[in-house]
Every structure is written in C-alpha cells, then in structure tokens.
Structure 1
Amino acid sequence: MFDTALTAKDLWFLAQGAGMTILVTAISVFFGTVLGIIFGVIRYQIGPYWAAPLTFVLDIFRSIPLLIQLVLAYAFLGTVLRLGLSGLTVACIVLTLYTSAYCAEIVRGGIEAVPLTLRRAARSLGMTWGQDMRSIVMPLATRVALPSWIGLALGVMKDSALVYVVQVVELLKSTQILITRLQEPLLLLTICGAFYFIISFPVARFGGYLEKRWSND
C-alpha cells in the first residue's frame, strides 16, 4: 500500500507556490511584451545603426544567464542603492527586462516578415505611418510572431523557478522545502511537474488554436 506523509496542507503550500509562479510569469510577460513591442518597433524603424545602443543593452539581457541577473540586481538594488525592494519586485523587474529583450527580436522579425509591397500600397492609399502599423503591419506580424511569443511565455514561466535566489517562494522552491522536510523527492517532483503542466498546457493549446484559426482565414 502506498504510504506518504504528504498532507492536504502541504498540497495547499504547493498550490500557493504555483500561484506565485503564475503571478511572476503574468507580470513579467505582460510588461515584457509591452516593452518588447516598443523596442522591436524602434529597432526596425530607425535601422541597425541608430538602434545599436538599444541592441547592445538588449543583448546584455539575452546573453547573461538569468540567475546571474537576478543575483546582481538583488544585490545592487538592495545593498548599493538601498531601495528596500522586495524579492518579488526585483524578480518581476529582472524577468520583465529579460522578456522584453527576447520579445523585441520576435517583434522585429515579425515586422520584417510583412512584405514591403503591402506597406507601400498602404502608404500610396494615403495611410499614415500609425495607420499602416495598426491596420497592416501589426495584424500580419502578430500571426508570424505568435508561435515564438507563446514559446517565450512558456520559457519565462519555467525560468521563473530561478527567482528563489531573491527569496521568492515559487513552485519549485516550495517543492524543495517539502522535499527537505518529508524526504519524498519522487512524489513531490511528480506533483511539481503536474502543476507546471496544468499551468502551461492551456497556454500552449490556446496558442495552437489561434495559430490554426489564423492560418485558415
């Protein structure tokens, strides 16, 4: 007979960790996407030469491992600047910038995938730059960029497991705490994996649904 020391209270503790994972991911992906769209449009619009400083900064966030970014940001903001920010705030700031760096590339690539002939036709019809971007470029670029953006969102959700280094108890950290106390790693890691699957599967399926629907339009 299967015997475990796991209780309903422990499961609730894991659920709270999963809730923190969802919160960090949602905040980071939302604001990271907003910044990524802005950065991506700027990079495309002003060209590689003038966008070089912005590209360099974004490359820093893409190149340095997220774990190092979290540790350095937590130490710098807390010890050097003495801002007194919580670990959750620091985690969201770093993950937002990390997400925006990747999202900017996705947006830029999506815009570049829109045929120039369509844009020229729109401008010849008297559309302004804003109308062209809103009515022509963004709808088409979104279809191209969506699969990559879904992959980015799911990646950020899994990368959020690293925020334990700034004292945020998310899903994986709560699992590790229970493993230390209960000494049942296989069971707890299985439950942890199930939580991650429950969180990520609907997002992946919804992205697939949108992609399939748009491809049939």
Structure 2
Amino acid sequence: MQETITFFSGFSTPDLWFLADAALKTLWISVLSISIGTVLGGIFGWMLHEGKWMAALTVGSILDIFRSVPLIIQLVLFYNFAPMVGLSLDPFASGVVILTIYTAALVSNVARGGIEAVPVSMRKASRSLGMSYWQDLRHIVLPIGGRAVFPAWIGVVLGVMKDSALVSVLGYVELLKASQILITRTQEPFLILALAGAFYFALSYPISRYAAKFEQRWAQ
C-alpha cells in the first residue's frame, strides 16, 4: 500500500507560539531601533536648528535621502553592500542599522520643530536669569518643546514599528515573515493574517493609550 505524503497541515497551537515569538522579535528590533534613533534624531535636530544653512546642506541632505528613499530599498541595498566594505552583518543587525538611521531621519525634523516651538523671548528670559545654554536646553526647551512634539514622536514610533515588517525581505523572521511561512504551510491566509494583525494591534495599542494618558497628565 502506497503512503500518502501530506505537504500541508492545518494551523496548530505551536504555530500560535511561533507567531508570538515572531511578535517579540518585532518588538525587540523596534525598541532597539527607535531608542537609538530617537537619541540620534534629537542630536541631528539640534544640529539642524543651530547649524542653520550649513547643517541643512550637510546633515540635512543626508537625512533627506533616508526620508525620501523607500525603506525596503535602503534595507536591500545596505544588506548587499555591507559585505563589500568588510561588514559581516546578519539580517537583524542590518535591519537595526537601517531602521535606526531611518528613525533618526524622521525624529530630526520632530526635534527641530520642538526646539523652534519654544518662544525666543522665553529662551532670552532664561538666559537673563543666569541660566547657561545647556541649562536652558534642559529646563526650558526640553519640557516645552517635548510637550509640543510628543504626539508627532508617537506617530513616528508607531510608524517605525509597522515598517519593521520590511526587514522580512532580508530573511529576519519577524511577525510578517513568520506569517508568510505559516501561510505557505497551512494555506490559511485569512486566519494567519488576522492573527498577525491582532499581534500588531497588541503591540501598538498600549503605546497609543499610554501616550494619550501621558499627554493628558502632561497638559495638566
């Protein structure tokens, strides 16, 4: 009697754990990239504000490239170009590098907007009270400017978290890549995509809710 070979199998509990693990990988690469990118973006935003036209021609031009070129092209080009210059990076490291620079490029405009949102008269008043330049940035610009651009920064965070799905083109098994693997095996695209969407919602919704509450508390 000839054996029947089954190429496809239905969705099972281990598959759900596989998706959950991929969601954690999505969260990890997002947190790492957003954290470093936010710090770099804040520095670049400060440079763009203070450097005026000179910074706009140098740093600003480079950041414009990363804002303008589709993220998927950046990922593929960097992953294939890195070995040519002696960098041996796996898909995760390559994804972190590009997502970090991409985040920094987006946050730089947000940070510059936050600095420029602080009235010049208020900054002059702080300096007349004896504050140093750095004290003015810390005690005046950061609280007031940060409050003004906090919603925009949250938008960047949520956007980068969703854009992290593009790292799947490099072979990194995050949530989208795991979904594609399961769809190929189970042939249940509706169920798999619905679960993937639920995981993305579970990652994004708490951030949105906490940000809204934090903004309300900040406004009081």
CA distance in 2 between partners of 1:48 and 1:23 (Å) = 37
Q: Which range moved further: 206-215 or 134-143?
A: 206-215
TM-aligned CA deviation for residue 32 of structure 1? 0.2
CA distance in 1, matches of 2:55, 2:66: 19
- Per-residue deviation, 1:51: 3.4
For 1:212, which of 206, 216, 219 is the aligned residue? Answer: 216
What residue in structure 2 maps to residue 33 of structure 1?
Answer: 38
How big is the shift at 1:48? Answer: 2.7
CA offset digits 1:116-157 (Å, max 9, x no partner) = 111000011111100000000001111011101111000001
| Aligned equivalent of 1:154, options 158, 176, 179 | 158
- TM superposition score normalised by structure 1: 0.95
1:14-52 CA-partner distances (Å, limit 9, x unpaired): 011101100110010000001001000111112133432
1:34 and 1:209 map into 2 onto residues whose CA distance is: 23
Indicate the residue corresponding to 1:9 in structure 2: 14
2:111 paired residue number? 107
Deviation at 1:167, TM superposition (A): 1.4
Query: How big is the shift at 1:66?
Result: 0.1
Q: Tell me the alpha carbon deviations over residues 45-81 of structure 1, each in whole angstroms, 9 at most, x when there is no partner.
A: 1213343210000000000000000000000102x12
Q: Distance in 2 between matches of 1:15 and 1:125?
A: 54
TM-superposed CA distance for 1:107, in Å, is 0.3
Q: How far apart, CA to CA, are the structure 1 residues paired with 2:169 and 2:11?
A: 26
Partner letter of residue 20 of structure 1? K
Match of residue 86 from structure 2: 82
- CA shift at 1:208, angstroms? 0.6
Structure of higher CA gyration radius: 2
CA contact (8 A) 2:171 2:177 kept: no
Which 4+ runs in 1 deviate beyond 3 A? Answer: none
How many pairs were matched up? 212
Residue identity matched to 2:122: L
SS class of match (2:76)? helix
1:179 to 175, 180, 183: 183
State the alpha-carbon separation in 2 of the partners of residues 50 and 65 from structure 1: 23
The root-mean-square deviation of aligned C-alpha atoms, in Å, is: 1.0
For the residues of structure 2 that align with 1:82 and 1:118, how far apart are their CA atoms? Answer: 50
Summarize deviations over 1:160-206 as a string: whole Å, max 9, x none.
00001111010011001000000001111110000000000000111
Q: Provide the rounded CA distance (Å) in 1 between the counterparts of 2:167 and 2:55.
A: 34
2:4 aligns to what? none
Identity %: 49
Would the aligned equivalents of 2:47 and 2:55 in 1 still touch at CA under 8 Å? no
5+ residue gaps in structure 1? none
Normalised by the length of structure 2, the TM-score is: 0.94
Distance in 2 (CA, whole Å) between partners of 1:56 and 1:202 is 35
